[in-house]
Amino acid sequence: MAKWGMAADLDRCTGCGACVTACHAENNISTVGADQASRGRAKHWIRVERYWEGEFPDVRVTFRPVMCQHCENAPCEPVCPTYASHHTEDGLNAQVYNRCIGTRYCANACPYNVRFFDFFNPSWDKPLHLQLNPDVSLREVGVMEKCTFCVQRIKAVTIQAKAEERTPADGEINPACAQACPAKALVFGDLDDPESAVSRLSRSSRGSKLLEDRGTEPKVTYLSRQS
C-alpha cells in the first residue's frame, strides 16, 4: 500500500497561482464572488501564502503553497463526531462529504486552516458551470471540504494499474496543482518507495514540515529557499 505525499520546493515557487486555478477547476470548487471572498468564504484547497521579509526598500517576498498536509497524526480526525474526517489505508486524510454534518470542529482543530466550509450551495459564474469535473462530487451547503490530493486521479491510476497487474510508476499520478505548476515546484508521489522523486526530495537537508512542533506529522515537505 502506497503512502502518498508531496514536496514543495519554495525555491522554485514563483507564486503564480496556477496551482490554485487548476485545483478549482479539477475539484469543482465553487467560486463565491468578491463580496463573499472578502468575508472569508473563499475556498482555496491550495493557497499561495505570501510573506514579506525585511523593511522597505530592502524587502523580499516569499511564497508558500499551503494545502491539506495530510497529517499522519491529524488533529481533525479524532474530533469529528461522525467519522466524516478519517484516515484512509494509503495515508490520505479523507473527508466524506455525505457523512459531514457541519460541526466545523475539524476546521478549528486544523493548525493549518486548510479546511473550508460550504456556506451556500455551490454556484458558478457562466461559463464555468460548463466545465465541471464528472469525477468529483459537488458539495452541498453545510459540509466541510478540503484538498484530497486529487484522490480521483489516484484512484483512476491505481485501478488501471491493478487491471494491468503492475504498480503505478513514479510520476504517473499527478494532482492538478502539481500538473499545472510551471516551475515544477510541487512533486507528488509514494513516500513508501525510497526511490521515488518525492521520497528523495523529502529526505533533502532543505526539507522541513510546516508547524512541525505541533506533532501532526504532515506528509508535505517544504524545501527551504536558498536564494
Q: Is the peptide bond prior to 57 cis by the omega test (within 30 degrees of 0)?
A: yes
Residue closer to other proteins by CB (options 3, 64) is 64
Positions 196 through 225 that interact with other proteins (CB under 8 A): 210-211, 214, 216
Choice from 14, 108, 137, 167 touching other proteins (CB under 8 A): 108
Q: What is the grid cell recorded at 186?
A: 510541487
Minimum CB separation of residue 118 from other proteins in Å reads 7
Instruction: Please give the span between the terminal C-alpha atoms of the chain, in angstroms, as a whole number.
Output: 37
Q: Report the residue from 21, 36, 62, 88 that binds other proteins according to the rule CB under 8 A.
A: 36
Cis before 127 (ω within 30): yes
Nearest distance in Å: CB 134, other proteins: 24
- Could you say which of 7, 10, 29, 112 contacts other proteins (CB under 8 A)? 112
d(CA 173, CA 180): 13
Alpha helices in the chain (DSSP H): 18-26, 33-38, 76-79, 105-109, 151-163, 176-180, 197-202
**Beta-ladder partners of 86:** 94
Window 116-135: residues binding other proteins (CB under 8 A):
116-121
Integer Cα distance of 83 and 144 in angstroms: 12
CB of 189 to other proteins, least distance (A): 25
144 near other proteins (CB under 8 A) = yes
Which stretch, 3-11, 79-87, 129-137, 168-176, contacts other proteins (CB under 8 A)?
79-87
Binding of residue 42 to other proteins (CB under 8 A): yes
Out of 25, 94, 109, 128, the only residue in the binding site for other proteins (CB under 8 A) is 109
Secondary structure element (H or E) that encloses residue 62, with its range: strand 60-66
Q: Which is nearer to other proteins, 110 or 191 (CB)?
A: 110
Indicate whether 78 belongs to the interface with other proteins (CB under 8 A). Answer: yes
58: CB partners within 8 A, 6+ apart: none
User: 39 or 162: whose CB is closer to other proteins?
Assistant: 39
Residues 6+ apart with CB under 8 A from 96: 83, 84, 85, 86
Residues that bind other proteins (CB under 8 A): 36, 39-42, 47, 49-51, 66, 75, 78-83, 99-105, 107-109, 111-113, 116-121, 140-144, 210-211, 214, 216
